[in-house]
Structure formats: structure tokens, C-alpha cells
Amino acid sequence: MKHLFLVRHAKSSWADESLCDRERPLNARGESQLAPLGHALTWAGAFEGEIYSSDATRALTTLEGILPDTFAPERRHTRSELYTFDYRRLLAWLEQQGDGSRIMVIGHNPALLELAQRLLKQPPVQLPTASFIHIRFDVKHWRQLGHSKGKLVALLTPQDYSYAHFERKLKKKARTGGDDPAKDIPKALSHQLDRLRQLERGVILGLDDEFLHQYRIAIRRSRAIAESVQEVTGDKALAKAVQTLKRHARATGPLRDLHVFLQDLPGLCGDNSEIRAALQIWFEREAANRHKKLVKRLQSKRYHDSMEHWLNLIESRKFHKLAGTLRAKDIRKAVGRRIKEFNKLTAELMHTSPDEDIHRLRKQLKRIRYLMELDSKTWKPVLKTLKARQKLYGRFQDLHVQIELLDQFRRAAPEVLPAALDGILGTLEERKADARKQILTLGGLNGAPL
């Protein structure tokens, strides 16, 4: 069994026309691609074998930027013959390699893409910069490579493994919204559904936590918009669809909580590397298990059927007619009702109130914000304040969840550094108490735009 990784160098610069092609460096975008590309290649197992790079500057810089710190220097090689745009020269070089089971080649198009097209029955049609193709061969020797003998294991581009690069590709998409935001409700929901479908691959791959975060936002925005129509119309089919969206959002919560905890872990543990390592290993395993469950859900027939049902609903003539009964003033009224309920709950909040009461207010804030964003011009002065408040409530909830997660760890492994764990829990409890005090001093929301 042989594994071949064909890696196209990161994005290069053409700014200096005095440089020959071999000397061209990476540009800013290319530099930003290196860390996530290295992470994706680690996930794919590409660093388990030998690495060969073209001697072109852009290929060597890519190599330096993706290598793990622990990678053995004797397994990295620079070859001038890999600076080629002819796949036949690349194939001839590959067939002369030894008995190693894994080879990574950092090189150039069109040679890399055309080589993959020769080796695969169903080859890719493009290989953007900072992308890689993983091909498996059921052969004993590299010299046995032949036409269409390979099997495609993975093809990953920057927008697959990096949310920042995924978003860059989409940022020129037309923004939904117009003079009367209510008229754009079907368009807004279609836009959010498109985002969900585009984000699903990144969520399933699990190489960048931000994909899941943005997926959750798209689900919740869809729910908030649909609820505004359902409140006015009382449509039962729409109410059922809203509950389905709610279930999909809830299914992502535990994994998102673990992502936030793991991001905060270095700051919580400080210089205590022993407790940090113990917690990281345990919670990364928990996150991996949660991710597997979520992937199974997203790939299930039931999930795909529910998304197809949602698409049919929002594209239906009936829904367009329902949405057409809603006006900008109705959105403002819906916001007003939710602000009134939020203020009532806030007035009842006390120092002794359970954490769940603050969690309920946090969810209310999100729903109010998403509705306001349907008519952002009207609510612009309020939205800035609302986002700051939402961040505080969100931090309180994160602290609440992190305390619960650490209690879960302590029950599972009571013998692991109990004193250090008590210290971290004490810090979190203090931060949560401080966040609660700040929340209690805020008071209600201003409903002036009504």
C-alpha cells in the first residue's frame, strides 16, 4: 500500500517583476494559508512519511510553514527536479523512489493536477494553491504506478479546512435586505440555508472550530426569522419547522461548549503543564466523540430529509404569501414583544437566581438580535449595545458550562491533581460571580425604535 500527497504551494506573489519565477515568494494570503494547511495535512497523516519539495522559493516557504516542530529533519528533502510543470517528469521521478509507504510532494501546477488526473479514474478538475490531493495505491513499489490505478482518499482546499478562507470566497455574495426587510424574508432564509449547506463540509471535516460556530449562527438566524412569520400568521407547518431547526441547533451545543473550553484551557491552567495536558487529552477525546455523533447526524437521511422539507417550505407559494403579510412594522412589533418579555425577566433576576435564568435571557438576546438584523437600519444604535451585552451573557454561560465540565472530569478522574483542579474551579467560580454582578447592574433593554 502506497500513499501519495500532492501539495500545491501556497499563494505566491507577482509584485516584484524583477524576480524570476523560481524566486517568487508567497504573498500575504499565502502566508495565512500555511498554519491551517499544516493542520489539515497532520489530520490526513501526510507527515508520517518522507517529504520532498521543489527548490522554488514559494515551495520551500510552504514546506517551512507547514512542518510540525517535531518533524525529523532527515525526512525532509529538496529536489530541483520537482520544479517542473510537466507531469511526465514528476511521474518518472516518483517511479524511481524507494520502498517508503508515504510520500508528500510540494510542487506546482499543472504538473500536480495532471499527474492526479492520470493516476485517478475520477480525477479532480482543479487544484487551487495551498490545496492537496491524497491518493492511495494498492501496489508494493512506486514503479508499479499506472494509469487510473489510484484511489482518491481526500481533496482539500483552503476553504475546506479554514473558515477564514471559506468566508473570503463568499464575502462578495449579495447581501439580503432592502427598503422593506419583511419582503426579503424568503430571500433571507434561502441565504441562510445556502450557508448551512456550504458550512456542512467544514463541520463534518472538523478541522476548524469556526465552521461549527457559524453553522449554529445560521441555524439560529433561520429560526428567529421563521418565528417572526409564525408569530404573526400562526401557521402550524411553520411552527413545526421551527422546532426542527431548534433540535438541529441543540444537537451542536455540547461540541461547541467543548471547543470553547479547549480554547480557554491554556489561560485557565497557566504554567501548570501537567494539569493542562491531562485536561486537554481528556476533553479532546470527548470532543472527538461528540464530533463523530454530530457527523453521523449530519450525514443521516433524516437530517437531509428535514433540510429538503425546509427548502420546499420556504420556496413554496404558501410561504411567500405568508411572508408577504408581514411588514417592517410587524418585525418591530415582534422585537418589541421580545424586549418587553426580556425586561420582565431581567427585573425578576436576583443574586440568588439559578444560572438557568441567565441562560434563558441569553437565548432571548440572541433571538432579539437576529430579528433586529432583519431591519438593521432601524436598530443600528441598539445593535451595538445589544452585541456587547450578549457577549457578557455568553461569557457567563461559558463559565457555567466549564465548571460543569470540570466537575465531570473530577468525577471521572478524582485522583488527577485535585489541588490544581480545585484552583481552576475556584478561579472560574470567581469569574462567574463577577459576570453575574455585571449582568445584574445592566437593567433592561431600551425599546426606543418602536
pLDDT band at 449 (very low <50, low <70, confident <90, very high): low
Residue 211 and residue 121 share a domain: no
Task: List, in order, residues 6 or more apart from 66 with CB less than 8 Å away.
Answer: 7, 34, 35, 37, 38, 41
Contact between 262 and 282 under an 8 Å Cβ cutoff? The reply is: no
Last residue of a domain, one of 325, 340, 367: 325
Last residue of a domain, one of 295, 325, 355: 325
Number of helical H runs and strand E runs in the chain? 16, 6
**Mean pLDDT across the stretch 415-419?**
93
Residue 321 and residue 187 share a domain: yes
For residue 399, tell me if it sits in a domain: yes
Residue 127 and residue 17 share a domain: yes
**pLDDT for residue 53 is more than 80:** yes
DSSP of 209-265: HHHHHHHHHHHHHHHHHHHHHHHHH--HHHHHHHHHHHHHHHHHHHHHHHHHHHHHH
For residue 167, tell me if it sits in a domain: no
Contact between 65 and 40 under an 8 Å Cβ cutoff? The reply is: no
Of 174 and 90, more confident:
90
Give the percent of the chain with pLDDT over 90. Answer: 77
Q: Which amino acid is at 71?
A: F
Q: CA 23, CA 378: separation in Å to the nearest integer?
A: 53
Hey, which of 85-94, 181-190, 219-228 has the most confident mean pLDDT?
85-94
Q: What is the dihedral of CA 313, 218, 232, 303, to 10 degrees?
A: 40
Residue 180 and residue 123 share a domain: no
pLDDT by residue (tens digit) across 310-368? 999 999 999 998 888 877 788 888 888 899 999 999 999 999 999 999 999 999 998 88
For residue 42, tell me if it sits in a domain: yes
For residue 168, tell me if it sits in a domain: no
Residue 221: how many CA atoms within 13 Å on its side-chain side?
A: 23
Q: Kindly list the distances between the CA atom of residue 228 and the CA atoms of 143, 204, 302, 312, 369, in Å, as whole numbers in the listed order.
A: 64, 30, 26, 19, 12
For residue 113, tell me if it sits in a domain: yes
Instruction: Flag the least confident range among 98-102, 167-171, 407-411, 445-449.
Output: 445-449
Give which of 196, 134, 162, 126 is closest to 38, Cα–Cα. 162
Q: Which residue has the cell 517529504?
A: 51
The pLDDT assigned to 179 comes to 53
Q: CA 51, CA 74: separation in Å to the nearest integer?
A: 10
CA angle 111-116-118, nearest 5°? 95
The bridge status of strand 2-8 relative to strand 132-137 is antiparallel
SS3 357: helix
pLDDT by residue (tens digit) across 294-303? 999 999 999 9
The pLDDT assigned to 327 comes to 79
Q: Kindly list the distances between the CA atom of residue 252 and the CA atoms of 216, 249, 258, in Å, as whole numbers in the listed order.
A: 7, 6, 10
Q: Which amino acid is at 368?
A: I
Last residue of a domain, one of 103, 136, 161: 161
Residue 296 and residue 339 share a domain: no
Instruction: Flag the least confident range among 101-115, 209-223, 379-393.
Output: 379-393
3-class DSSP string for 50-107: EEEEECCHHHHHHHHHHCCCCCCHHHEEEEHHHCCCCHHHHHHHHCCCCCCCEEEEEE
Residue 221 and residue 194 share a domain: yes
Q: Which amino acid is at 335?
A: V
Give the percent of the chain with pLDDT over 70. Answer: 96
Q: CA 216, CA 222: separation in Å to the nearest integer?
A: 10
Kindly state the helix (H) or strand (E) to which residue 369 belongs, with its residue range.
helix 355-372
pLDDT by residue (tens digit) across 250-306? 999 999 999 999 999 999 999 999 999 999 999 999 999 999 999 999 999 999 999
> What residue numbers bound the domain in which 192 lies?
173-325
Residue 319 and residue 183 share a domain: yes
The CATH number of whichever domain residue 68 belongs to comes to 3.40.50.1240
Q: CA 107, CA 62: separation in Å to the nearest integer?
A: 10
At 107, list the grid cell. 510542487
The pLDDT assigned to 263 comes to 95
For residue 199, tell me if it sits in a domain: yes
The CATH number of whichever domain residue 244 belongs to comes to 1.40.20.10
Residue 223 and residue 340 share a domain: no
**pLDDT for residue 176 is more than 60:** no
Q: CA 147, CA 256: separation in Å to the nearest integer?
A: 44
For residue 37, tell me if it sits in a domain: yes
Total domains in the chain come to 3
pLDDT by residue (tens digit) across 316-331? 999 998 888 877 788 8
At 52, list the grid cell. 520532498
Residue 74 neighbours by CB distance under 10 Å? 7
Residue 211 and residue 185 share a domain: yes
Of 370 and 415, more confident:
415
Residue 195 and residue 137 share a domain: no
Residue 26 and residue 92 share a domain: yes
Q: CA 216, CA 93: separation in Å to the nearest integer?
A: 47
For residue 378, tell me if it sits in a domain: yes
Residue 157 and residue 286 share a domain: no
